[in-house]
Amino acid sequence: MNISTLANNKVKEVYQKISSDPLTKQGLDFLEKDHERTINEQIVICEIPAPPFKEQKRAEYILTRLRELGLDDCQMDDEGNVFGVRPGTKRGPKIFVSAHLDTVFPEGTDTTVKEVDGILFAPGIVDDTSGLAELLSVISAFKETDIKNMGDIVFGGTVGEEGLGDLRGVRAFFDNHDDIDGFISLDGPEISNICYKGTGSYRYKVTYKGPGGHSFGAFGHPSATHALSRAAAAIADIITPETPKTTFTIGEIHGGTSVNAIAEEAYMYVDLRSNDSEELVKLEKQFLDIVQMSVKDENARWNSDQMTVNVEKIGNRPAGTQPDDSRIVQVACAATEAMGLTPVLAGAGSTDSNVPISLGIPSVTLGKGGKTGGTHTLGEWFDPTGSFVGPQRAFLTILGLVGVENVSEPLLQKNSVTEGI
């Protein structure tokens, strides 16, 4: 059984022990046999709508399943997250393993799953419904084998991962739990992928307001659309570094009431991103300076003071990074290769892991099993062939981190210390 060259000798030795343990083998066998039930549950979950900020019905279903699978202290917190605990046998690291409950699709979207030649089609069938199904399968494997994890494992589902949810669920969880030593998010495509860096993003709604008026009769009044256009043109000319990757976009523009009216109001949504927190702050300053200058220029053009702007920050996802050879990355790589797969250290992403990474808590987002396409579109699809390797890899990663009684010591340190080995 090949172990990643990134893993040091200690990690290799631990995974040799874990892989040869009879209960580990039993758990892996169970996860393969549990495949059909897992896919059926994925379909059930997908058909429970979970639009942004309205995840409660799906959360209630997951909470019921956590209780049925025997977790302790199952609960829904004030933000809407649901979770329960599988206690460890002795003092060891405590980790949180989750998938997100919400989808990007608005209320009223038809999420009925259709199967064509073995391929499942439905909005949200993958992101992150497959992660939730894998999560429940992993918990089932722990219950089936009664394997003795040394550290506590919190399993759960988080709200608000997508879009304007702004990671509100995972943010609230870590605001209220200061005893978590590691985090795993089951999210994203490609079973070999290991995402361990967080792309930070700031999102803004910028609203211009002026006096408006008839295009001919009130000509000379400042225009909200003109002011916005001044800003948009200047934003488009911002130069950002290629490394660390830093980007911007004006995602939406709205404004005006008629072709023959001076726009009284116009607004735009702007997304700023970077893999580096300092570069993100620099970009933000350039953007904010441009917005203020656009108001001054529009007022100056018409010798007016009536154009105003309101800048509302509607998203703040923290950036964060960890060393390539951090212990949690080594463990994820070793677990991946124990499955006969080649681990891929993916680039930075925007996932639930951003929050704990920014807090210095070792975290990874693991790609899931199966083949996927059309994510975030109405044509989203999932090929479940052999997708049980997803929960198998998650199972092995968890065992390495928290330790197995009488088999292996935990590879993750307690007290949330990120350690390069």
Question: Using one digit for the tens of pLDDT, what is the confidence trace for 107-164?
Answer: 999 999 999 999 999 999 999 999 999 999 999 999 999 999 999 999 999 999 998 8
Record: fold of 200-317? Alpha-Beta Plaits (3.30.70)
Q: How far is CA 159 from CA 171, 252, 287, 336, in A?
A: 10, 24, 30, 27
With a cut of 70, say whether residue 419 has pLDDT above it. no
Q: How far apart are CA 377 and CA 374, in angstroms?
A: 5
Q: How far apart are CA 85 and CA 96, in angstroms?
A: 9
pLDDT at 5: 60
The mean-pLDDT minimum among 220-234, 295-309, 333-347 falls in 333-347
First-to-last C-alpha distance (Å) of the chain: 22
Share of the chain above pLDDT 70, in %: 97
Q: How far apart are CA 420 and CA 417, in angstroms?
A: 10
pLDDT at 1: 39
* Domain boundary assignment for the chain: 9-198+320-402, 200-317
| Residue 58 CA to its chain's centroid (Å) | 17
Q: How far apart are CA 49 and CA 110, in angstroms?
A: 8
Q: Check: CB of residue 186 under 8 Å from CB of residue 366.
A: yes
Residue type, 261: A
As assigned by CATH, the class of the 9-198+320-402 domain is alpha beta
Average pLDDT over every residue of 82-97: 94
* Among the listed residues 94, 58, 87, the one whose alpha carbon sits nearest the alpha carbon of residue 70: 87
Q: How far is CA 32 from CA 29, 39, 181, in A?
A: 5, 11, 29
**List of residues 6+ apart from 237 with CB closer than 8 A:** none
Asked if domains 9-198+320-402 and 200-317 share a fold, the reply is: no
DSSP-derived secondary structure letter, 413: P
Average pLDDT over every residue of 49-56: 97
Instruction: For the full predicted model, state whether its pTM sits above 0.75.
Output: yes
Q: How far apart are CA 275 and CA 278, in angstroms?
A: 9
* DSSP characters over 135-180: HHHHHHHHHHH---BSS-EEEEEES--SGGGTTHHHHHHHHH----
pLDDT at 215: 97
Side-chain half-sphere of 189: how many Cα atoms within 13 Å? 14
pLDDT at 90: 81
With a cut of 90, say whether residue 418 has pLDDT above it. no
Please write the tens of the pLDDT for every residue from 259-311. Answer: 999 999 999 999 999 999 999 999 999 999 999 999 999 999 999 999 999 99
Q: Within 10 Å of residue 420's Cβ, how many Cβ atoms? A: 11
